[in-house]
Amino acid sequence: MKKIKIPTDFQMEYDLRLDSNAKRNYLVLHGFYENASIIKEKLEPLIPKDSNLLIPNGCFPLPKRKSPAMGGGWDLFFSWYFFDESSQSFYVEYDFPAGILEKLVVKLGLEKLPLTIIGYSQGGYLSPFVAERLSNCDQVIGIGCSYKFDMLKDSSHYKIEGIHGSADDKVDPVNAKTCFSKLDSKIKGEFIMLENQGHKLSKEFYSKISLILK
């Protein structure tokens, strides 16, 4: 099967909280089979009030049919990209959603203030690829994700912070720590391993995120 890239307009859904006295922008990226509403409920309380907060849905909808008992219809979840672990190959690579998010940030006029990107799980994998494209991004916080150190470009305008649970059964914590250690020293910040924590966000995760954001 051949692939070809075709320029096209792309419709994105997003949640945006603006503050007239904002000192920083925040971009929050949800995980696989999630949506903006799910991650907003979990992370918005941690984001400083004097800031602008952008939380988009992923690029690719993953609809789930509701049971008749639930009234029928569909629940919408999303993915940012598609990677086949069995063949170790991409159906959709990082560059597509990263380019879309770059354009969204610029379209909304959020490319001037300093930017922090917070990515959870699949959104964490994607975060540094978005940061590469936005010169105002100076901080990436990856949660429950690994780091494609061999695919990142030579950048120095942002730092990556990593938070991972030692009991994560979705993203191997040992591999995540190893990959983090191989990041270029210019972008490598701190890697925090939370003992006895899994992949699901918990109060221990929230506490560490809050400390980093202060």
**What is residue 192's predicted lDDT score, i.e. its pLDDT?**
98
Cα–Cα distance for residue pair 64/130, rounded to 1 Å: 28
Cα–Cα distance for residue pair 53/108, rounded to 1 Å: 11
Structure-token pair, residue 18:
């603006």
Long-range contacts of range 203-210, CB-CB < 8 Å, 24 or more positions apart? 205/143, 205/163, 205/165, 206/42, 206/46, 208/163, 209/43, 209/46, 209/118, 209/141, 209/143, 209/163, 210/46
Domains and CATH numbers, the chain: 14-58+96-213 (3.40.50.1820)
Report the chain (214 residues): mean pLDDT per 10 consecutive residues. 84 97 98 98 98 98 84 88 74 88 98 98 97 97 95 91 98 97 94 98 98 91
**What is residue 111's predicted lDDT score, i.e. its pLDDT?**
97
CA 110 to chain centre: 17
**What is residue 87's predicted lDDT score, i.e. its pLDDT?**
72
Structure-token pair, residue 11:
């419709």
Element (H, E) at 189: strand 188-194
Instruction: List phi, psi (to 5°) of 80.
Output: -90, -35
Cα–Cα distance for residue pair 77/92, rounded to 1 Å: 17
Residue 131 CB-half CA count within 13 A: 32
**What is residue 90's predicted lDDT score, i.e. its pLDDT?**
66
